[in-house]
Amino acid sequence: MTTSPAGPPFPISVPKNGFGVTSLVLGIIGVVFSVIPIIGVIAWPLVILGLIFGILGIVRASKGTASNRGVAIAGTALSAVGLVICMAWAAAIGSTAPPAPPQPAGAAAPVQGAQPAAPAVPDEQSARAEIWGEGEISVTVTDGQGTTSNTVTGAQTIDLESGFVSVSVSRSPSMDDYMNNGGPSTGEVGCTLFRGDEVVDDKQASGEFATVACSKMY
């Protein structure tokens, strides 16, 4: 009984390197676009992907799971060149950008995190009080800034902060009225509140201890 000799073994084929071919194609296109001004921005994603695929192709070829190691190396090199050209363009454009305009002399530098100033109240909405009286008068004002009290003589105009406003005016007899004049004389006092040019409250009173109070929510 005779046996036929064994035939030659079938050759083992190594798969082609698809990553390497992709890297080479992307590298070529990326280099071409990278040297064109403005349009060269398209090259950025191409050369970055070319680098990634080229490195993967080299790794696969080193493990013996793919061939065409030279193609992967060429694609990686071209992609790297394209990336360098793109970075050079970006640096050149950044260096030629116009400088910021100089700040006018005396202008305050903006403070980071500072809130913008509140807009001024228009004149037609501004609040003020006009008070008057005969002799010395005591004035008590309550507005957005708090409460103040003063003794004044004659007519006065007081600028007020918005919010609840109250103005009290009363006659303030002096000690001389009691000692030399037999007591305070009869007189008048008054107050008027304005919003712009509009009168919003007006009070008057007369007597030895005349007192008026004007109030309004602005």
160's tokens: 């007020």
84 or 14, higher pLDDT? 84
pLDDT band at 22; cut points 50, 70, 90? very high
Residue 148 has pLDDT above 80, yes or no: yes
Residue 1 has pLDDT above 60, yes or no: no
Average the pLDDT over 30-39 and give the result: 86
49 or 114, higher pLDDT? 49
For tokens 């995190």, name the residue.
113
Q: What is the pTM of this model?
A: 0.41
Residue 29 has pLDDT above 50, yes or no: yes
* pLDDT at position 164: 81
* pLDDT at position 32: 93
pLDDT band at 98; cut points 50, 70, 90? low
Measured distance CA(72)–CA(19) in Å, rounded: 7
Residue 95 has pLDDT above 60, yes or no: yes
Q: What percent of the chain has pLDDT over 70?
A: 73
pLDDT band at 49; cut points 50, 70, 90? very high
Average the pLDDT over 190-206 and give the result: 90
95 or 76, higher pLDDT? 76
pLDDT-wise least confident of 42-51, 105-114, 153-162, 207-216: 105-114
Measured distance CA(186)–CA(146) in Å, rounded: 31
Say if CB 193 and CB 169 are below 8 A apart: no
* pLDDT at position 122: 47
Residue 19 has pLDDT above 60, yes or no: yes
Dihedrals phi, psi of 214, to nearest 5 degrees: -115, 140
Return the number of other C-beta atoms located less than 10 Å from residue 150's C-beta.
11
* pLDDT at position 68: 83
Measured distance CA(25)–CA(12) in Å, rounded: 28
